[in-house]
Amino acid sequence: MSRYSASEIEAKWQEAWEKAGIFTARQSGDRPKYYVLEMFPYPSGRIHMGHVRNYTMGDVIARYKIATGHNVLHPMGWDAFGMPAENAAMAIGGHPKDWTYANIADMRGQMKPLGLSIDWSREFATCDPEYYGQQQALFLDMLKAGLVYRKNAVVNWDPVDMTVLANEQVEGGRGWRSGALVERRELTQWFFNISSMSEELLSALDGLENWPAKVRLMQENWIGKSRGLQFGFERSDGAQAIDVYTTRPDTLMGASFVGISPDHPIAKALAVDNPDVVAFIAECNKVGTTEEAVETAEKLGLDTGLTVKHPLNPDMELPVWIANFILMDYGTGAIFGCPAHDQRDLDFCRKYDLPVIDTFVALEDPKPVENEAFVPPKTDRVQWIDHFAGLDIATGQEAIDTTIAYAEKAGWGTGVTKFRLRDWGLSRQRYWGCPIPVVHCDDCGVVPEKKENLPVRLPDDVTFDKPGNPLDRHPTWRDVTCPSCGKPARRETDTMDTFVDSSWYFARFTAPHADTPTDMDAASYWMNVDQYIGGVEHAILHRLYSRFFARAMNITGHLPAKAIEPFEALFTQGMVTHAIYSTFDGEEFSAKERKELGVPDNWGAYKAEYLFPEQVEQREDGYFIKGTNRRAVVTPSAKMSKSKKNVVDPVSIISAYGADTARWFVLSDSPPERDVEWTASGAEAAFKHLNRVWLMSERIAEMDPDAKGQGDEELLRAMHKAIHDVTQGVESFGFNAAIAKLYAFTNLLGKSKASKATQQNAIRTLAQLMAPVVPHLAEDIWARQGGEGLIATAPWPQADESLLIDDNVTMPIQINGKRRAEISVPREMERAEVEKIALKVDAVQKALNGGVPKKVIVVPGRIVNVVV
RNA sequence: GCGGGCGUGAUGGAAUGGUAGACAUACCAGACUUAAAAUCUGUUGGGCCUUGUGCCCGUGUGGGUUCGACUCCCACCGCCCGCACCA
């Protein structure tokens, strides 16, 4: 008997697969194709357990599809542009390009030992000029097709560093490096016209049957289609009316003010000669640009002194307020406030002492609004107090429809459909991104670069010792001649949002070396992605942008019409988490930190210093720092992060146990869509189990082939049950359940006394069923047990239906829904017959106590319920 | 704040509306060993007594639908994710 040596067999089989070239994607008509894609990683330099889990899931699918006779495309690449490379250049010197490519080399080196079935010949990084040059070509085609345009938009501006900040670089309204108060600044920027496709992107969601319902719902809400009324409030001073948009026009009688955004043209006009307005707008601009910041900030308002006339009651005048919670981007940037039926408006009115007017009340409890707005579902029927269109009792929805019709007929308003989805701003004032291929000419305006001049390459000779975009202060790169008139001109110095890079990489994988963005022949063959796997954190933006891009690429002739929904099926996997260990020496905890860390009240008042798991040991009365009497806190699991010292490095796990153990563990303990907690004992257990399987194989190999066995039939049945269950598990992404079935079958096989032939058949089948998860171990067992060729390409085992069904079935007997007994009956037995037997059971007789049952429910093959 | 999700033993979790806790971890007991590790075997949701093929309770909390609810509906609590310049 030999021992299980993961490092030995893993290297051996990886070499064998590479030599046989079995993972090179082949385009041929004789087999169905299957395209499996895991979201490509950002090259941070280290792979983490989340990657291992994500790629193992994809690998299981890919290997299963190879075994079931498909041409499989399973590529890998690098989402390589972005801020971390520039941050690294600023922090430690060097060039983003060198940093990025070195990281890619490191990560590829860490990934290869995992034994993934990836076609590495298709690998690319988005920062390769060959890739971003094609992206520039796409941009030019989209520009021509009217899918890209320029307009002004607001950015976070750091006045000290003189640079644009990303939202994550703004902390508490201040720049993360300079600490300066961040200002809003308007710049002319490029936009993709994604909102022109709002309706299409929304309605096509219905066809995405193999996407998680929650993701479709999130996208639906994000696109945010609404039907409402748009109308003007006449200004008392006779100036141009203020247009408002509302989804609740039925509450118009309850209006107590008109609110406009601080960015509204009227607010800007007032600011010209009104210092109060200037100050108030400045105050509003201190709040960040994110929707979250705007929505959670304290509600502030300023009375402009202007008034408007109520459209239904000309005698009534409403004040016009500037309010910080009104977004210029949505609707018309102006609203009417109806405090009785909107909590935000109510808080605002109570704060500024504006009137609260009820327009409808609950049927059963008709009381006026106090400090809680009355906002029933639109489907609830309510009592109207004074509805101008004559409603008495009606639902909110009926009232909305009636009001829109009434306003349109009377001519003072229009029913309008609006979308929340905004156009996608793609300009970034940064170096490490895909250059936008246009030139600005004083005479010709914005001139697209000629396609034969692509790629517009990033210059290498840049430094990051000064704030701002290096492209902006690089004269020889920036200053060019106009492609149209030949006069001196300037290159666009903005680069593209990295979401652009990831919005079409899946298409590029079908022909990664083509000298056009895609190759129609290859794209037609491989698209769509049959299974896409990635985190739920990308549920909206990345996947919505990709859907937009696929449509844009179809319009510009780069993808076939069938590929406008590029991801046939989507799976969103959970994170890998790990417990966090810490001390409490050092600074004091804040109350918030206590809550966040779950620090018990009696544990002293000192701030945690995070500890690596191996610094901590468990004793009878709790956790301690190894070899000391200092206590440690163990907080429940959280996403692995360097700063919390709870990262488990896949490289060290692979060197300790092997890739198969890591792969087995990340799939075994939790359902794939949920987070999995990494535990040392769990990893250890996975390793032990693989050892057991190995030893079992050795034992079977050494059995006497002529010895008589017993229980062959039972083992055979269990084997076919395992084939059936594991196949189902893999097909339905129930990897943890499939692994549980593999455990059960392995335990059974371990105890089996069946003949050698049957056991050998069983262990070979077990190896095949395990192969997608632990391909190296499976390959080795397969070879030792006389399997033909590579297990990686061997056809997937088929379950024999006739061996799956037992003749007898155990049926639980319930009395009033509680299990009280069970009977064993032939599977095909008639209902009446089953009922007769069930009624004779002691427990039933006792419960009936001589009487007759009220009702007997017999679910054939399942359960009997006797109601007494 | 808005949108989405999740909540089951000591722990990770299983369960087409049909026997709640599969499978695994941890713990405990036993075998093997001079001993330990490793390995193997067995027990383990809580409670009660009359120790039985027994009874009661039990899937975040409260209500509802159903012969039957972890599963469906309503409300609440807690945690996680996203919110348009992080990737």
CB within 8 A of A588, min separation 6: which ones?
Answer: A605, A606, A607
Q: What is the largest CA-CA distance in chain A?
A: 107
Does pLDDT of A160 surpass 60?
Answer: yes
Distance separating alpha carbons of residues A777 and A755, to the nearest angstrom: 23
Q: How far is the CA of A320 from the C1' of B85 (A)?
A: 33
Contact between the CB of A665 and strand B at under 7 Å: no
Mark residues 713-732 of chain A whose C-beta is closer than 7 A to nucleic acid strand B.
none
Q: Which nucleotides of B are covered by protein (CB under 7 A)?
A: 1-6, 11-16, 18-20, 22-26, 38-41, 55-56, 67-69, 79-87
Shortest CA to C1' contact from A194: nucleotide:
B84
Does pLDDT of A677 surpass 90?
Answer: no
Mean pLDDT of the region A782-801: 94
- Range with lowest mean pLDDT among A52-66, A578-592, A649-663, A764-778: A578-592
Nearest Cα to A378, choosing from A396, A365, A393? A396
Q: What are phi and psi for residue A443, nearest 5 degrees?
A: -90, -45
Mean confidence (pLDDT) of chain A: 88
Distance separating alpha carbons of residues A240 and A259, to the nearest angstrom: 16
Contact between the CB of A538 and strand B at under 7 Å: yes
Residue A739 carries which side chain, given as an amino acid letter?
Answer: I
Distance separating alpha carbons of residues A349 and A353, to the nearest angstrom: 5
Which residues on adjacent β-strands are paired with residue A677? A577
Shortest CA to C1' contact from A291: nucleotide:
B83
| Predicted model pTM | 0.91
- pLDDT of A585 reads 41
Which residues on adjacent β-strands are paired with residue A38? A533
- pLDDT of A587 reads 41
Contact between the CB of A492 and strand B at under 7 Å: no
Residue pair A322/A277 in contact (Cβ under 8 Å)? The answer is yes
Contact between the CB of A154 and strand B at under 7 Å: no
Shortest CA to C1' contact from A676: nucleotide:
B12
Q: Could you read off the pLDDT of A814-848 as tens digits, one per residue?
A: 888 888 888 888 877 888 888 888 888 888 887 77
Distance separating alpha carbons of residues A643 and A498, to the nearest angstrom: 25
Q: Could you read off the pLDDT of A729-759 as tens digits, one per residue?
A: 999 999 999 999 999 999 999 988 899 999 9
Residue with more model confidence, A586 or A365: A365
Which residues on adjacent β-strands are paired with residue A822? A812
User: Does the bond joining A455 to the residue before it have cis omega, within 30 degrees of 0?
Assistant: yes
Which strand ranges, in their side-by-side order, compose the sheet holding A818-826?
Answer: A818-826, A808-815, A863-867, A855-859
Shortest CA to C1' contact from A164: nucleotide:
B85
Contact between the CB of A401 and strand B at under 7 Å: no
Does pLDDT of A426 surpass 90?
Answer: yes
Shortest CA to C1' contact from A330: nucleotide:
B84
Q: How far is the CA of A833 from the C1' of B60 (A)?
A: 43
Distance separating alpha carbons of residues A842 and A862, to the nearest angstrom: 20
Shortest CA to C1' contact from A41: nucleotide:
B87
Mean pLDDT of the region A252-279: 92
CB within 8 A of A269, min separation 6: which ones?
Answer: none
Contact between the CB of A216 and strand B at under 7 Å: no
Identify the residue whose tokens are 């009280």: A820
A188, A190, A373 from A151: Cα distances, Å: 5, 7, 38
Q: Could you read off the pLDDT of A311-361 as tens digits, one per residue?
A: 888 888 999 999 998 988 888 999 999 988 888 888 889 889 999 988 888
Which ipTM did the prediction report? 0.93
Q: Could you read off the pLDDT of A698-731 as tens digits, one per residue?
A: 999 989 888 888 889 989 999 999 999 999 999 9
Q: How far is the CA of A818 from the C1' of B57 (A)?
A: 13
Contact between the CB of A227 and strand B at under 7 Å: no
* pLDDT band at A636; cut points 50, 70, 90: low
Residue pair A790/A800 in contact (Cβ under 8 Å)? The answer is no
Residue pair A735/A773 in contact (Cβ under 8 Å)? The answer is yes
Distance separating alpha carbons of residues A345 and A329, to the nearest angstrom: 19
> Which DSSP string corresponds to A558-621?
SS-GGGSS-BSBEEEE--EEEEEEE---SSBPPHHHHHHHT--TTS-SB---EE-GGGEEEETT
A44, A75, A95, A503 from A101: Cα distances, Å: 10, 18, 10, 21
Contact between the CB of A857 and strand B at under 7 Å: yes
- pLDDT of A173 reads 80
- pLDDT of A418 reads 93
Three-class secondary structure of residue A813 per DSSP? strand
Mark residues 610-639 of chain A whose C-beta is closer than 7 A to nucleic acid strand B.
638-639
Mark residues 45-74 of chain A whose C-beta is closer than 7 A to nucleic acid strand B.
none
Distance separating alpha carbons of residues A781 and A760, to the nearest angstrom: 10
* pLDDT band at A637; cut points 50, 70, 90: low
Residue A792 carries which side chain, given as an amino acid letter?
Answer: A
**Residue A326's CB: how many other CB atoms inside 10 A?**
25
Contact between the CB of A831 and strand B at under 7 Å: no
